[in-house]
Structure 1
Amino acid sequence: MEQVHNFLTKEAGTRMFQILLLLGSLLLHEQGSQAAPLVKGNCTQKCGEVTIPFPFGIGTGCFLDEWYEIVCQESSNGSVPVLNKVNLRVLNISLPDYDGNTNGIINVSLPILYSSNVSCGVNKSFAPVSLKGSQFVFSESRNVFAAVGCGIRFLMDDTKSAIIGCTSSCGADNDVVGNVTCSGSDGCCQTTITSDLQAFRVNFQPNNGTVGNNECKYAFLGDRSQFVPATTDFDELRASGRFAAVLEWGIAESSEPALEIYNYDYISGDSYYCSTVGFNLGYRVAMPFLQCSCRGGFTGNPYIRHGCEGKSLRYHISIFCSSNHSCKFLILALQISLGALLLLLLLWLLYKFMMKRKEIKLKERYFKQNGGLLLQQQLHSSENNVDNSKLTEYSAKGGQGTVYKGMLADGGIVAIKKSKAIHKGKVEQFINEIAILSQINHRNVVKLLGCCLETELPLLVYEFIPNGTLFQYLHAPNEEFIVSWDTRLQIATEVAGALSYLHSSASIPIYHRDIKSTNILLDDKYRAKVADFGTSKSVMLDQTHVTTRVQGTFGYLDPEYFQSSQFTDKSDVYSFGVVLVELLTGQKPISFLRDDEERNLASYFLLSMDDNRLFDIVDAEVLKQGKKEGIVAFASLARSCLNLHGKTRPPMKEVAIELERIRKLENPAMKHGHTQEKRKTNKCWESVVASFPSNINIFSARLATVIVSSRLDVDKQISSIKIRR
């Protein structure tokens, strides 16, 4: 033991720690590389100065599929690699990094987008780049959207529901000032992008009419590490026509190569590692893909057979021991240490197991003590099992997930929303929607019947609304049902009543934050139901606004909110004003068939009102059935809702009252209908929602069913969904 103690000096301790790591790795991994199924050989490895690793390749049989094909083009500057499918020049390709925990990336050269070729002094136009259909996205963390120009608002308008853009202004001489920081006040602005971006176009909008059409404005998506405003020559940048950007890539999880990897058990080896990850695409969609990387200590390409190379662990141990004859004493000491560590680990695991079991027993006791068994029996007696064989997808995939039509065992029909992917942001949106809808009991708000959080993907169960969205009936009309003027007034009045309830009569005021015709559903009697509360916010009674990241739908977004990032109840009023104009005109909120200044429906409507051309844009059905006085009153109300200054817009309560007045004006014989129901709160559900942030397992580990009362007679009508473990 004295000899062993002498070796445990500072120098020997360092050597012992290194060998400990090697021995631990040796125990965890088998020696030698397993064979990878994707093998490509005899292919050109470089084009110019750029190395082309598989799955990318040059020539037939050297690339995974057409999206990974590289064409080596000759130019005056030598050979240039081009990503053939999207016609982008490649600057560099990097494989996924195991140690750095980074995705595979491609550095490419993207075109700069100009407002006008003539004013910007460029000779040719560049079409916007589209990556749709590929396994590539523009990297959210590595790219920045930047724009240059005076008094202009730059919007990326091919980004589905997310609004991306920035606003820039200049000094008195309307020129880009010196010491540019791209803060927005020096003729340059910049902003981040969403994680789902695969295609975009730039919409150049004048800001308060302070800029002429002849001035050059341009925008680009670029690598944030290469765009340093203070040192950038903007004249040279404008003339160059291109800027470096970063794409992230992977192999689609459902593709044949990915399935081949699964079939060959290629998920893990001692020299490489493959995992399924996903580009988290914000609200809308997720693209799962497979990425492989060489483990630490190995280098090469994990996508080809024996692509990861490195020395064996036993070889490294032999290096340590070859120069020291007493290495065997170190190994003996290490073996003893490892044995002691394993024993301690087993004892710790046993302790954790006993504590967990004790906790479960304690929960079971409290469950019985607090009447849990009685509640479980009551729920069991009324529960209806969902027939999985009768689940059918009945609507398009939405922002947060896919909606299915489900049939209960008793023949009842429900709508089941299934989240698209396991992502923290999406889970928070689902929880937020549950918490918001649990506070609402209104005939014109879609009812949440239940939820399940113990499945891999969270589920929400709603009442089934059979007739689709208002958007479909206005913009894709059905000859069997034409939306009459009276029906339009009814829908507007019902939605206004629901929003008035949310803003003024709910126990806690609620801002919807995404009012649009696609979020207004129609039931079997064509009554309106407001839906999709994933982005909604509840506020304190004395709170006038919420400050959030700008989020909404292009065409419905309050311009005041876009400028200040402060959402108020008047922001919902603006969005509802756009819906009123849709009902009045039958036109879409954004249309590229109209002129640039009239592309936005709200702007088009206000210009028509100013020019006394209201009846030129009103829908033919409205003109045929409506009274002139009622149409003018309806248009005036929409105009007040679309006021650019939020404080001058009417509150939703006044809007609802005015719409009731207009309905009576159009139909004097109409009986006054009370549009709001008295709210009844399910006490049990309130306690569940109150515990959501800290305890997602509803009631207890043994109770996996959540019931939300959605009808006036709670005792007679209970809807429930049973989710089997």
Structure 2
Amino acid sequence: MFSTEKVMMRMKLLLLINLLAMTMAATEAQSLAGCPDKCGDVDIPYPFGVGVQPGTSRNCFLDQSFNLTCDNSTSTLYFDNITVSSISLQQHQMDIFMLVSEGCYNQTGQLRSLYTKTFTISSTQNKFVSVGCDTLGMIYFQNNSLRNNFTHYTGCVALCYSPPPKEIDDKTCSGTACCQVDIPVGINNISFVAVSVFNHTNVLTFNNCSHGFIVKHDWFHFSFDYLRDFPYDRVPVVLDWSVSNVTCRTASRSKADYACKSNTECVDSSDGVGYKCICKPGFEGNPYHPNGCHDVDECSRPNNCSIHSQCINLNGTYKCVCPPGYKGIAYNNGTGCSLDTSPSNQNLSILIIALGVSVALLAVFTLVSTLCWARKQRTLKQLRERNFEQNGGNILLQQLSEQQGYTDRIKIFTEVELKNATNNFDQCRILGRGGQGTVYDGILQDNRHVAIKKSRIGGDPRQIKDFINEVFVLSQINHRNVVKLLGCCLETEVPLLVYEFVDNGTLLDHIDPLKNEFSISWETRLRIAVETAEAISYLHSSASIPIIHRDIKSTNILLDHNLKAKVSDFGASRLVPLDETHVTTVVQGTLGYLDPEYLHTGQFDEKSDVYSFGVVLVELLTGKKAVQFSMPEQRNLAMYFVSSMKEDRLWEILDKQVYDGNNTNQLKEVALLAWRCVKVKGEERPTMKEVAKELEGLVAIEKHPWVKGEDLMSEESEYLLGHVPDMYGATIAAGTSASYDTMLKDIALEIADGR
């Protein structure tokens, strides 16, 4: 059972909720959207309004009868040039200020008039008053309810002695010095005047002026002091307002002009002019507003439910029910709700208790799960921050911040971004695996297609520092034939690199007959060789710090949809300071492409990349892999190629797809260049810049309009191709069969010398 204190607390709480609801309803927007809802301190509820809705041609008022004007300079609201002090939506009344009519001795009284079209002067809220010792107050009006054009008159006379008797109460207005008369019903066109009756012949000691005015009930209180100095020049008047000049029955037939909106009722005006809209019982709001009236939540306000009952709000009403375990009539005028002690209810109580315990356990489980999830997220965040620091993220950010515009060159991705891009690094997204890591196919949030490489680096600080330096340098490389590094992620245990996606596979995919039945033409192969040589030459000679790739091979040369070459996979690359000629490190690379000198000494330089590129040239010429374990005599392609060249068997080992009968000299020159690139001694190999220049010269000769057939001995061809230095320092004109024969003699001499 509830105690008396608890009952009082509940009643106070309900009262407070009711007051809050009433306050919210009072402050609720009652005007049309975008229209002024106030002018100074006066609220402007629709159907009244000022001006036009912003951005539309629709008026803020229902019709011209409700058109108001706001003087923003004085914050004054006007209705037909009459000052408005308040508008009541519930009472359908408007408070205005009217001038007082004044008539003085030897002067004509001032006639005052009020015409309000469809609004009427409230007969219940106003009165006509005359003040003076020799005063006749008269009103002239036309009664709308009588439906005629006759003018009607009424008024009163106020007289007094000089001076008035002391026993007369100066607070009344009963005829002595002040008189009053009721306002007839249904008047919207009225005039009034106050004049002298006897020309003040007996009251010259008082104010010789008379005053007449219509005024709001209970506002004016007479005083004899007003006979000497009347203090008002205007007084408040109440107008009753309604819509249109037709009845509810007539108005409801016209859906377009009908002013009453949803959840409202129509009431004919008691003054006989127009109709009014009110909210239905259980609803509140503005019945004229397009949104209509809305449901009142009676359960949040004082209602008729008994103490133990439950209130259920319904549309327009509410109901009271006894909660489970109680019985009786739930309303205050009934028996109320009392505890049900029947056996069936006890079983129900047990069920309710069990349900409550289950809900409590579920809440505890949810809370524990939430706390565990929050802790896991915090742990993951700390782990990402630690990985970021261990992977050199702070060092990278410092280096990038020192370069202007670094944010345009490389982006630091989050782990979540790359997990979403690869479907949490799904195995189905793997594009390939290599010695430097695994490459995944990814789609970023902005729909960019990328290749995401999960690197393989240990926790060695030196290794981390080298990796950061490589990322920093590669972020500045902008070459059309180098796969562009878009960014990296350092929040994971091992760094992730994000590259542009190249969609047409590797060079090996296009020249290996086991993978591609229709291999690419010699012209395309030569162009790919030129583009690859230019990219490697750029890394060696044009980068801010020379970069040695260390893993040049046909699987690291990607081709786009136009078969343009893109050098990729810089995981094994190293930076070579400008003051150093080589770097010593653990031997690393791919079998078949490794520089024999580097394999022997552990020292690599730019010539190591030249050797690897030479093997790629041999692959382009022969269509064979760099290493073929199934063919012992051809296990190492470079050695097999050199021995074939020594035995003058070039045409036997060439890929049948490359020879078309017109490119004999070009194939010879590329073969000679490849042989020079795979020299055992690095000092005897050309630089990548020289290789790129010679390959470009071969392409230029092929395209030169002056060169015809086998005429490659002209000055123009020599100029385009350049000269190839032989082993002894002599110069051999490239592009001739003589050069090829001379090269074979050089090979024979090397054999004789024991090389």
Q: TM-score range by the shorter chain?
A: 0.3 to 0.5
TM-score (norm 2): 0.37
Q: Which has the larger radius of gyration?
A: 2
